[in-house]
Every structure is written in C-alpha cells, then in structure tokens.
Structure 1
Amino acid sequence: MPNPEPTTRSGAHDDSRTASRFDRLRGALATPVDVASLAVFRVLFGAVLFWEVWRFFDNGWIRTYYIAREVHFKYLGFGWVQAWPGDWMYVHFAVVGLLALGVAVGYRYRLCSALLFVGFAYWFLLDKTRYLNHLYLTLILCFLMALVPAHRGASLDALRRPGLRSETVPAWSLWLLRGQIAVVYLHAALAKLNGDWLRGAPMGAWLRARDELPLIGPLLGQSIAVPVFAWGGFLFDLTVVPLLLWRRTRLLAVLLSVFFHVTNKWLFDIGIFPVLMLGATTLLLSPDWPRRLCLLFPPLGPSRSPSHRGAAAGVGAPRVGRWLTGFLALWFVVQLAVPLRHWLYPGNVNWTEEGHCFSWRMKLRDKDTVSTRFLATDPATGREWVVDQGSTLSTRQREKVGQWPDLAHQFALITAQRMLEEGLGEVEIRVEALVSLNGREPQLLIDPEVDLVAQPRSLAPAEWIMPLDRPLPGE
C-alpha cells in the first residue's frame, strides 16, 4: 500500500502557509499608520453633512418633503418608519446638524457618530423618492465613521483626555474607508459599460442643454464632446483609485479628481456629491499628507513616524482580531456583491429600476415621463375613474412614480388602502405610464391590463413591467 505520509505533510504545509498568510494579513491590518488623514477627513465629513442639513433648512425642503406631504414611499421592510408629527422634523434635522458638528470637532465622538448614523438612517429611510447615491454613500460613511478611531487626533476629545491622543491608528481603520471609496468608483465604472452610455446617451442631451454656459458652452455642443465626457468618465472611475494610491501618479490623479468633480458640480445639479467625493479622495493620499502641509498637525521626525515604528515592531507585532478580520471580509463581499444584483432581474435596469438602488449607478440615464394615469375601477359596478395624484403627491414624487415601477406599485397600494378607509370599498388600480428612456420613442412602462393592487411587494422580478423595445434614436 502507498505511504500516506507525504500527502499528510503536504496538507499540513498548505494549511500552515494559509495560516501564515492570514496572520500576515491580520498583522498588516494592525500596523500603525498616521492618524492625520483620517482626522482631517472626519472634519471634512462632519462639515459637509452639516452643510447638507443647512441646505434643507435654507431651501425649505424639510416642510416640502416631509411635513407638507401625507404620503411617503417606503423601502421594502421599512414601512414602519414614519415622519415625526407636526414640526418635530425640524428638531430632528437640527439634532442631525449638531451631531455632524460634534463629529467634525471630535467632541464625544463615539456617541455623536453613533447617533449621527441612527439619525441619518431615519432621514434616509423616510421616503424612497428621495433616494440619491450621495445620500446612500453618506449613510454608509456615517456607519463606518462610528467604527473607526478618527478622534485620536485634532479633536476636542483628545484635548480633554490626553490618554486618548495618539499619532497613529491601526491600518484597518484607514483601509476600511479607502476600500469603500474604491467600491464606489469600481461599480460606477462597471455601470458605464452599457450600450447607451458608450454611445453617448444620455450625455449628449445633457451637454446640449448646457450650451448657454459662457466660454465652454459652444464646445459642449460639439460632437467630439460627447465621447470625451462619456469615455472620460468611465476611464476616470476605473483608474482614479490606483492612480491616487501610487505615489508616482498621485499628483496627476489629484488634479484629475479636482477637475472631474468641479466639472460635475458646475455642469450637473448633484448636490453635495462632488464635494463629498473630493473630501473622500484625501483618504487615498499618504496618511501623513496633512503633516506635510502643516494642516492641523505638526510634522513628525523620522524616528517618530508611524512607518518607522511599524517596521521596528517586527516579530510579535499586534494583530487584528479574527472577529474584526471576518467583519472586514464580510463587509466588502457584501459591498461588492449588492451592486451586481440587477443581473438577477430580466431587462434593462435603467428601464425597470430593479436593482438600481444601492448600486452606484450614477447619472446613467435620462427618463422623460410623457404621461401617467392611475385608473381606479370598482369591480362591483365596473365604474372607472382617474386617481388625482396632484392633491396627494409632490412634483418630485409624481415624477418618480411615473418612472419607477416599484413606486407606481406602492402608490397603487396606498391609494387602494385610502379608498377602502374612506368607505369606497375594494378597488382595482391600473397604470398607463408612457415613458421615454434616453431619447427613445415613448412606450408603456407598466402593463396597463394588470391590477397592481393584486400584486404583492417583493424582491422577485415584477412580471408586469413592460420590456424595453424601443431603439436609441438613429439606430
């Protein structure tokens, strides 16, 4: 009989090498890195979020979106999240703004960051028609900032408690945020690999709409501008993270980032997103970049630098616990997988919207609602009438309901329930939604023969969404 001993030794050797790699990873995640860039990002993040809260107060959006509206559209499973009664929504936003300032200055940071996540999550979940990628990113960053020790430097906590102050943080706290930003850019690039975007739709229409801008306006109307912006956006999203991480290309990447995000802010109305992403870009620079610019932090001598002390640690250096390592691995598996879930649904995601949210599909399509009619039918009498949307929904809600099948379904369910409570009995509701995608000839979005009240809300593909069958203009 053959001797099994060599196989056993080989298996043990493989297990040993795997364990060694795992231990090296845990050691690398625990390596001390300069706290400076993380602390500066904390200040920037808190300030940007405070600015977003101020915009809601200044523009009257709190009353418009949350107080004056009786109907709010919910994410599946979060129907229990309801707006505060009366003017208490103002109090909620004020508290969120104060918590954002607490994070920025690092005052009772752990408490403020945890409460900020809870307060912002409530705000985010109130109405699905308010979904924006930058709000989703802000929600994720609120959660991650509550986990990392960003208050160890340049904070009131470190000033009040000298024992908390540190020149370093473990590397995992920086790479957790870096990895999240990399996920956003990666999926933004992958989402642009679709026929419409690569053919210049809807970028061409957006650029032509800005031809009134001084100096640059006439250039935006040139045919060459469309592929430059479309392919340039794809290449930027695909390469900016490695270019920022590599020292030799870092300056070029910083200049490209500033140009890209400032241009987006100037040409398109996308809120705080460009500013937020520019702030997040600083996390991909060398951790000690604020010291080199003498920004909040004094320079450190070579003997006191985190890299020097990390290298000197050598054997016996601290390692990240297994539970934390497992959490980090699971977090990034989920973050990489969730944006791909639209492949589980049939049809074009830009048309069906199934799998669109939480997928970093940013500024990829332009939908134009030609008309939307909700028709209610009394099955007992056969009487049919048009549902009045204007008295119930805001302008933005009506726009989204006409473009997102899930929201049209929700509105049908809400309307049927309201009619039942008003004594009108059970009704059937059908929708005639005529929509154009990226300049295509308008077509029906939802099967007008289907009673949406009879359709359950679920994560399963909605068979009542009409397939996209109109070609792009010129095809």
Structure 2
Amino acid sequence: MQETREIISGKGARLRKEVGRHRSTLAAPIDAAPLAYFRIVFGAIMVWEVYRYWSKGWIERYYIEPEIFFTYPGFGWVAPWEGVGMHMHFAVLGVLAAFVALGLAYRLAAPLFALGFWYVFLLDQSNYLNHFYLIGLLATIMAFLPANRWASLDAVLSPQIKKRWVPAWTLRLIQFQLAVAYFFGGVAKINGDWLAGRPMNDWLQGSGDVFLVGPFLESSMAPLVLSWGGLLFDLLIVPAVMWKRTRVPAVLAIVAFHLTNSAVFSIGIFPWFMLAATPVFFPTPWKGWRPASLPSVTPLRSSLGLVLAAFVLWQVIMPFRHLAYPGNVSWTEEGHNFAWHMKLRDKRGRISFTAVDPSTGHEWEFDHTDYLSSRQARKMRVRPALMAQFARKIQPRLERELAVSPLAIRARASVSLNGRPRAILVDPEVDLTTAEWGLAPSRWVLPLPNFSTASE
C-alpha cells in the first residue's frame, strides 16, 4: 500500500511539474510584432468586407428585403434593425474594423466589432459561411488580446502601453484557431465522395478559361488531383509552414492553393484572408526584437489556463459531433455547421409545400418563393432544419389567409447529393410545424438511399 501511494504521489508530482512547465511556456514573453501584424490584417480585411456588402447591395439583399429570417436555435429574438438601421450597423462595423487595424481605442473597438459581427451572423442561417464563423471566433479572441501594444495609434497616444512583447499564449491562440480551420477542413474531407472526386468533378466544368490552369482544370484527372491535394494540403499545411525545412514550399503551396480557390470558387474574402494571415505562423522573433527588456516569466494563471483549455476542447469536439447522428452528415445536415465542412457537397433540390386542414383533410399548395429570397429558397430546399423553421414561420400567415386554424404544413423535398439521383429528404407525411430539430436525431429526416452509382 505504501509503495502504491509513493507511485501515485510520484506521478502526481511529475504531472504538476509538466503542467507548470506548459503554463510558464504559454506565459513567456514573445515578440509582439506578429500579433500586431494580424491585428492590422484582420481589421483591414474586415473594412474591405464591409465595403463589399455596401457596394454589391448585399445589405439590402440579405438583411432588408427578405420577409422571413432563419434564426439560430435560442436566438429567435435576433432581428434586423428597421429603416436605415442595417446600413448604419454596417457603417459602424466598418469604422470599428478600421479602429482595430489602426490600433485606435482598440480595447473598446475590438469587443464592439465582435458583438456587431456576431449580431449579423445570427440574423439568418441561410447566410452561414464557414469563414464567417472563423471571423466571429477570431474577432472574439482578438477582443481579449493586447494586440495594441505595438504598431498602434494607442501606443503612440499612450506610450505607457507600448511594449514589444506579449505573452506567448496570445499568438498561440490565433495560430490554433487558424490551424483548426485548416486541419478540420481536411478531416471533413476524409469521406467517400470527396476521395472519389465528387463534387469536384461537377464544380470544375466550365473552368477552362481560368488563367494558366484552365486546361488542367477541365482534364479528367483534375477532380481527383484537386480533391486529394486539397485533403493533404489542409491536414499538413500548418506544420509544413512552421517547420523551417518545408516553410518555403509550404508558402508557395498556400499561395497556389488560395489563388486557385479564388479563381474557381465564389468564396469571398476567405482565400485572401488566409493568405494574408500566413505570416503569423512564421517563427518569432521578427526584425527589431530586443530581448534585453523582457520581464521575468510568471506562470499562466490557473483560471486563464482553464478557460483556454475549455476553448481548445470545444474547438476539437465540435467538428466531430456529427458522429453522434445516424446517416450522412452532408445529407441530413445534422452536425454540418460549425464543423469546417467546407465545399464538401453539391446539393440540388426541388420542394413543394402543402397546407393541410387536419379536421377535413383539405389541402392547399403554396409557393415558398413568394415568401423567401432566391438565396433563402435555394438553401432551404436542401436543409431540413430550414424547412421546419419556414413551416413554423409561415403557418400563422397562412392560417389568417385561409381562415383555418390549426394548419399542418407538409413538404415533398426531392434532393440530389453530389450527382446522385434525386431522393426524398424528409418524410412527406410529417407536419413540419411540429418537427423538432435539436440535439436529438431528427427521425423525420429520411436516410440517404444506397445508390449503386453516383450519377445515372
């Protein structure tokens, strides 16, 4: 018994020593220049994104013109500003992003930008983009970092905050979040469709006019080469760019990868943002670093360590939550969002809705496009959660128009996934106004049939 206690005590001591070592490593001062660089890049690209929304009319199209908004679970109270409110909101976001880039009133501008961005994000699920989710996470992280210590107007106006060092955990957290998007984007690609070159083979059709690489993109080998290449790139690029021996070819691969993505796919600012963010993975210190003025190392506070550990654990678990649900996640959509499933599926759907008087069985067909924007309708036709939410939102209006209450609403959704024949996505006999979409599997979502071929 005494020997057992000594063994346990010894292991506990070694564990405490190891934890203490990591706490000291994360708290150690490092060059502040990479974090300042990321602040500038992040803010500048957010200014550009706000300008894009203004210049392309997306504020009106996405947040003013629609009659119905697909809110997120628990956030049904989030609604667009009325009148010119949405334009004012984006204008303020642009100013805040500029302040972040300049490092001006950063401690106020960064959290306000994060809150304002998440507000826009939460307005409508049909506008979900993985890189918007990434921006929201990074904006939240930046709100808690001392990214204005160097190369900022705050440091000019208040010289007492000017320092050329930051705790190591601040930069490591940014690196981790960017790495998560890459790595789990690769993990998500480990599925039969992607490894077989689907849906890449469909997306590359008509790409022959892309500068330099057009003829290759239309070749028969391109779908497999790009699918497998994208998978390996996502899984390996972060360690490759951080390792000295592979850094130069890794950077060249990053440039080629993101420029190709920008030319072939409509993915907005994402390739340019990831390109610009690449230097944060370069080794520190950067030029001008003077280690003589560094403070002594104080181990990371336990409370901060627990918060960071919880955040990291959450980021690692979320991409795997679809494994708790039956079926193909690209078909059912259960666990698809917030999991870095980027450009994995091509879904094309047709849907018809019927309002039913349960007491008489009388039916009325109605056109969903009368109530949704073209983008909303396109997304809703292939996403069960949006179908159910649409049914709940349109039910009161139809009950008033038809003078029938209650009304049941059913849908017949015929969907093709990655070139497969069309199949019925949801049970056409289920009243979607009562269909539940939550943590439990949605039994009213039908399984993907086991077709023998991907296209017929």
1:240-283, CA deviations, whole angstroms, 9 ceiling, x for partnerless residues? Answer: 11111112211111111111111111111001111121223221
Q: Does 1:411 align with 2:390?
A: yes
Q: Distance in 2 between matches of 1:44 and 1:384?
A: 56
Partner letter of residue 68 of structure 2?
A: V
- Tell me, in whole angstroms, the C-alpha distance in 1 between the residues paired with 2:388 and 2:2: 65
Matched with 1:186 is 183
The AA in structure 2 aligned to 1:461 is P
1:368 aligned counterpart, secondary structure: strand
Contact kept, 8 Å, 2:165 with 2:294, in 1: the verdict is no
| Residue-by-residue CA offset, 1:379-419 (whole Å, 9 max, x unaligned) | 23322111222221000000011010100111111111222
Aligned-partner Cα distance in 1 for 2:127–2:225: 31
Residue in 1 that maps onto 2:91: 94
Question: Aligned pair in 2 of structure 1 residues 6, 177: CA closer, same or farther (>3 Å)?
Answer: same
Q: How much has 1:436 moved relative to structure 2?
A: 0.7
Residue 399 in structure 1 maps to residue 383 in structure 2: no
Of 439, 445, 448, the residue aligned with 2:425 is 445
From 98, 113, 116, the equivalent of 2:113 is 116
Query: Which one of 307, 319, 338 corresponds to residue 318 of structure 2?
Result: 338
Contact residue 438 and residue 472 of structure 1 kept, 8 A = no
**Counterpart selection for 1:201 from 189, 198, 203:** 198
- Amino acid of the structure 2 residue aligned with 1:361: H
Q: Name the counterpart of 2:334.
A: 354
1:59 aligns with 2:51: no
In 2, the alpha carbon distance for the partners of 1:384 and 1:474 equals 34
Which of 7, 21, 26 is residue 24 of structure 1 equivalent to? Answer: 21
Assess if the C-alpha contact under 8 Å between 1:419 and 1:425 holds in 2. no
Paired letter, 2:409: I
Which residue of the partner structure matches residue 454 of structure 2?
473
Match of 2:122 in 1: 125
SS of corresponding position for 1:453: coil
Output the CA distance in 2 between the equivalents of 1:70 and 1:462: 27
Inter-partner Cα distance in structure 1 for 2:155 and 2:41: 18
Task: Tell me how far apart the structure 2 counterparts of residues 249 and 149 of structure 1 sit (CA, whole Å).
Answer: 31
TM-score relative to the length of structure 2: 0.96
Q: How many percent identity over aligned positions? A: 46
Q: Equivalents in 1 of 2:277, 2:6: separation in Å? A: 48
Shift of 1:52: 0.9
Cα shift at 1:454: 2.3
Change (3 A) 1:33 1:362: same
1:264 paired to 2:257: no
- SS of 1:230's equivalent? helix
Give the structure 1 partner of residue 359 of structure 2: 380
Contact 1:38/1:287 (8 A) holds in 2: no
For residue 228 of structure 1, report the CA deviation from its aligned partner: 1.0
Given the superposition, is the C-alpha separation of residues 85 and 309 from structure 1 closer, same or farther in structure 2, using an over 3 Å criterion?
closer
Please list, as runs of the form range in 1=range in 2, the aligned pairs for 1:75-474 lying within 5 A after superposition: 75-289=72-286, 291=287, 299-300=288-289, 304-305=290-291, 317-369=297-349, 371-422=350-401, 423-469=403-449, 470-473=451-454
SS at match of 2:235: helix
Aligned length: 454
CA–CA distance in 2 between the matches of 1:407 and 1:237? 30
CA distance in 2, matches of 1:191, 1:84: 36
TM-score, structure 1 as length reference: 0.92
Alpha-carbon offset, residue 474 of structure 1:
6.1
Give secondary structure in 1 for the equivalent of 2:342. Answer: coil
- The 1:472/1:101 distance shift into structure 2, 3 A limit, reads farther
Deviation at 1:211, TM superposition (A): 2.4
Equivalent pair of 2:419/2:455 in contact (CA under 8 Å): no
1:421 to partner: Cα distance: 4.8
Q: What's the CA shift for 1:457?
A: 3.6
Worse-superposed segment, 216-225 or 56-65: 216-225
Partners in 2 of 1:32 and 1:279 — Cα distance? 24
Q: Is the 8 A contact 1:240 1:253 kept in 2?
A: yes
- Stretch deviating more after TM superposition (238-247 or 274-283): 274-283
Distance 1:474 1:408, change over 3 A: closer
d(CA) in 1 for partners of 2:434, 2:227: 42
What's the Cα RMSD here?
A: 1.6
Shift in alpha-carbon separation, 1:330–1:214, aligned structure 2, 3 A: closer
Q: Supply the distance in 1 between the matched residues of 2:307 and 2:65 (Cα, whole angstroms).
A: 41
Q: Is the CA contact 2:436–2:442 (under 8 Å) kept in the aligned structure 1?
A: no
Provide the rounded CA distance (Å) in 2 between the counterparts of 1:235 and 1:163.
46
Distance 2:308 2:24 in 1: 14
Q: Which runs of 5+ in 1 are unaligned?
A: 292-298
Structure 2 residue runs of 5 or longer lacking an equivalent are none
Which letter does structure 2 place at the counterpart of 1:96?
L
Rounded Cα–Cα distance in structure 1 between residues aligned with 2:277 and 2:211: 30
Identify the residue that residue 43 of structure 1 maps to in structure 2. Answer: 40
